[in-house]
Amino acid sequence: MTRPTILKFGAVEHADGGDLPGWVAVEGHPTMQTAVQHTTEDGKVMSGTWRASPGTYHATYTDYEFVHMIAGRIVITPDGGEPVEVGPGDAFVVEADFKGTWKILEPVTKHFVVAVG
């Protein structure tokens, strides 16, 4: 069977619960769900939908990520850096060497693309 060259994301039917590697809850009791909806044949790029509830995580990244916010609001603060607030409609990237906090102010839904490194 030929692999489709266009894949439209539908509703998230199955999402994995539990914190991602490198993410540690530091305030409140946030939870997250990750649905990887596509992975390239070589496994170097994956994309999908991520949801999280209010609270704060300290995150340590090892891979580059592109994000498009669908819903919610987050204040992202690099260790030693200035906070950046993102909300619905915002698009941004997180570099592979990012370390800092994600303060989730409102329940979040985002689409992501991760380039595995």
Buried b (16+ CB within 10 A) or exposed e, 79-116: eeeeeeebeeeeeeebeeebebbbbbeeebebbbebee
Supply 96's token pair. 């592979």
Q: How far is CA 52 from CA 2, 13, 27, 32, 77, in A?
A: 35, 16, 14, 4, 17
pLDDT at 63: 96
Determine the pLDDT at residue 1: 58
Instruction: For each of the domains in the chain, give its residue range(s) and CATH number, in order of start.
Output: 21-115 (2.60.120.10)
pLDDT (tens place) for every residue of the chain, 117 residues total: 577 778 788 778 778 888 989 999 999 999 999 999 999 999 999 999 999 999 999 999 999 999 999 999 999 999 999 999 999 999 999 999 999 999 999 999 999 999 987
Q: Please give the pLDDT value at position 77.
A: 98
- Residue 113 has a pLDDT of 97
pTM: 0.90
Predicted confidence at residue 48, as pLDDT, reads 95
Question: What's residue 10's pLDDT?
Answer: 77
For residue 108, the model assigns a pLDDT of 97
